[in-house]
Chains A and B, each alone.
Chain A
Amino acid sequence: NAGVTQTPKFRILKIGQSMTLQCTQDMNHNYMYWYRQDPGMGLKLIYYSVGAGITDKGEVPNGYNVSRSTTEDFPLRLELAAPSQTSVYFCASRELNTEAFFGQGTRLTVV
């Protein structure tokens, strides 16, 4: 049972480039989340989804987009990378009122 899998683990982007962070889970969870974590700042919610076809903004959605076409996958898209998006990104999944399971993270640097 793999849990939550994120790819890539590391990436360096140039300002203005685009990329997609992949997230897939094999636990058949309805709820999926994208967080970013900056040093000393905890986890901030970017976007979340309560089921296939349904997404909603979190605390810091600007500069990002998501889609949820299947229960398993919840990719995060950066359209025009900016230095402020340098961070560690975590994907998580859960069922309602239960604990969230996290992936191992994607460390992104925008230069």
Chain B
Amino acid sequence: EDQVTQSPEALRLQEGESSSLNCSYTVSGLRGLFWYRQDPGKGPEFLFTLYSAGEEKEKERLKATLTKKESFLHITAPKPEDSATYLCAVQYSGNTPLVFGKGTRLSVIA
């Protein structure tokens, strides 16, 4: 059973059309939730870390939020350069490695 589930698998938006990506996790004891951006042919690039329910982080057109069982990555007025795969990862208790979701492929059309 997947511990980290991202939805949708793919999302196509018009430039300026705001939307949200979802990351849900099924195991208790969350120590941190991480959002990454990955461009084709490159390694994941860190965006945000969230540690507790109610926490929010923002960077340019992106805003990440966290509840007790899911996180959202809100994209406001996206531009074509926001097109990428967005990955969510969680760390559970102790020094356990990050567990990644399968990602959401975002395409923003001009």
Contact = CB atoms under 8 A, between A and B. Distances in A.
Given A97-B31, A97-B91, A104 B43 contact: yes
A104 B34 CA distance: 19
Contacts, number: 50
Nearest to A6: B43
Q: How large is the interface on B (under 10, 10 to 19, 20 to 34, 35 or more residues)?
A: 20 to 34
Interface of A: 4, 31, 33, 35, 40-45, 48, 50, 58, 90, 92, 96-105
B90 to A, nearest CB: 12
Give the top 3 A-B pairs by smallest Cβ distance, nearest first: A102-B43, A42-B102, A43-B100
A99 B43 contact: no
Given A42-B102, A42-B103, A99-B49, A31 B95 contact: yes
Contact of B46 (A40, A48, A96, A101): A101
B42 interface: yes
Interface of B: 9, 31-32, 34, 36, 41-46, 49, 87, 89, 91, 95, 97-103
B105 to A, nearest CB: 9
Given A42-B101, A50-B95, A101-B46, 7 more contacts: A33-B98, A42-B87, A45-B99, A97-B32, A99-B46, A100-B46, A102-B45
Contact of B43 (A42, A50, A58, A90): A90
A98 B101 CA distance: 18
A96 B95 contact: yes
